[in-house]
Amino acid sequence: MPIATVNPANGETLKTYEPMGEEELERRLQLAEATFRTYRTTTFAERARLMHQAADLLDEDEPEIGRVMTLEMGKPLKQARAEAAKCAKAMRWYAERAEALLADEQPAASDVTDSGASRVRVRYRPLGPVLAVMPWNFPLWQVVRFAAPALMAGNVGLLKHASNVPQTALYLEDLFHRAGFKEGCFQTLLIGAGAVDGVLRDERVKAATLTGSEPAGRAVAATAGAMVKKTVLELGGSDPYVVLPSADLDRAAEVAVTARVQNNGQSCIAAKRFIVHGDVYDAFAGKFVAGMEALRIGDPLAEDTDVGPLATEQGRADLEELVDDARRSGAEVLCGGQRPDGPGWYYPPTVLAGIHRDMRIHREEAFGPVATLYRAGDLDEALLIANDSPFGLSSNVWTRDADEVERFARDLEAGSVFVNGMTASHPAFPFGGEKRSGYGRELSGHGIREFCNITTVWQGA
C-alpha cells in the first residue's frame, strides 16, 4: 500500500513516500534500544523541560500543522487547530505531574514489619521502546496521548502511524527532536501494516499500544501474546446517548448534533446510538433532525464548515453499505442518506429511525455522520438497548434524576459514563473501554503506569 497524503476533499494525491527498507528499520530499532539505556536515567525535571519545549513549539506550529491534518484526513480546520492545542495541554499536564504520579509508594508500616523488612518501596520503572500503532482520525492527539506519558515515564517511542497521514507522522518526530529530545527518543516508522508484526516480534520492542479497528487489535494482541508483551488496545465504539424525560431536551438535542458529527463523525467516542424515552422521543427527534439538517457541509479549510469529507473513499463506501442495509431492512431515513454529487468523499449528516437487531448498523460501528434513533419504553429498556452492543467505550446519559444517574453509572457497560454532557477525553481522566472496545487505559495516572515495570524493592534489616 502506498504511503501518501491524499486530500479527501478532492481525491488529489499531494505527497507520496517510499516505505522504509529493512536496513533503515533496523537502524531505527538499534537507535531506540541504545537511546533508552541513557534516557531512562534522566531526571523528571529534565524530561519535563523537554516536554514543555515541545508544547511551546506545538503552540507556535498550530496554524500549519492544523492545515496539514485537514489536508490529510479532512477534519474542519477549526477542529484541527483545536486538536493541536489539546495536545500541547496534555504535554504540559504530564510534564507537571509525571514525577508525582510515578513517585515511590510506601506500603503500610505494619506490612513492612510483617514481611521482615526494614524498608519496602514500590517503584515505577520504564519498560523500554514501545510501539504505537495509531489511526488517522485524530492524527496528532492519538499519538500525543501515548507519547507524552510514555516519554515522561522514561520510555522511548516508535510510531507506526496510519498510511494516509504521513506528514503528520513525520511532523511528530521532528517536533520532539526540535524540542531537544535525543534522536532515538521518538521515531516515526514509515512502514506498511504488513511490517507491524515483525517489529512487534523484535525483542528490543517491549510493549505496544494500538488505537484502531477490531481486526487490527486482534492481530497485535495475538502477536504480543505470543511474545508475552504488554499491550493497550482501544478498538472503537458505538456509544449510546440516552435521553430520559427529566432531561433538558433543548440542550440534549443541541449537544447530540455535535456529539455525532465531531471530526466528520469519525470518532471512536462519538455518540452513535441515540436511545430516547418514549415520553420525549418525538420532541427530541424533531430537534435533533433539525440540528443535523442545519449543518454546513463543505471545504474543510473554510472557517464556516461544520462537516467535511470522510477521510477515505473506502470509509465512505463502508458507511453507505451500513445505511443501505438498514434502509432495505425497514429503517426510516429522517434526513440525509444519499451521497452528494461532485468530487471528494463527502457524506451528509444522516439520521435513521426504526432500528432493530437484525440490521448491521445495530451491531457495527458507523464511522461517519450517521445517527441511529431508538425509542425506549422505560429506563430498563433504555439500559438494555444501550448495553446491546459488542462495544463498550463511552456513553452519555441525559437526566436530572439522581437515582437514574446512579443506576446508569452502575449498570452501563462502558469505560466512561458522561452525564448531561458530551463525551470528551482529558489528560486527568482515564480513557479506555471494555468488551470489544479493548483493554487498558490511556491518560491520567493509570495511563502513565501502563508501560511501567511495577517493582517491589525490599530491604532487610
Question: Which of 224, 352, 232, 198 is closest to 285 using CA atoms?
Answer: 352
CA gap 293, 283 in Å, rounded: 16
Give yes or no for a contact between 216 and 210, defined as CB atoms under 8 angstroms apart.
yes
Spatial neighbors of 418 by CB under 8 A, at least 6 apart, are 394, 395, 396, 397, 424
Burial track 162-177 (b if 16+ CB lie within 10 A, e otherwise) = bbbbbbbbbbbbebbb
Spatial neighbors of 92 by CB under 8 A, at least 6 apart, are 51, 52, 55
Is 234 annotated as catalytic?
A: yes
CA gap 210, 194 in Å, rounded: 15
Give the angle 177-66-426 at the CA atoms, nearest 5°. Answer: 80
Spatial neighbors of 312 by CB under 8 A, at least 6 apart, are 8, 164, 345
DSSP state of 340: P
User: In this structure, is the dihedral angle defined by the CA atoms of residues 390, 396, 401 and 402, taken in order, positive or negative?
Assistant: positive
Point out the catalytic residue in the list 234, 365, 404, 442: 234
User: In this structure, is the dihedral angle defined by the CA atoms of residues 125, 127, 131 and 134, taken in order, positive or negative?
Assistant: negative
Strands 156-160 and 129-133: parallel
Amino acid letter for position 335 = C
Is 268 annotated as catalytic?
A: yes
Give yes or no for a contact between 235 and 442, defined as CB atoms under 8 angstroms apart.
no
Point out the catalytic residue in the list 87, 185, 268, 452: 268
Cell numbers linked to 426: 482529558
Question: Which of 294, 344, 337, 292 is closest to 319 using CA atoms?
Answer: 337
Query: What are the catalytic residues?
Result: 234, 268
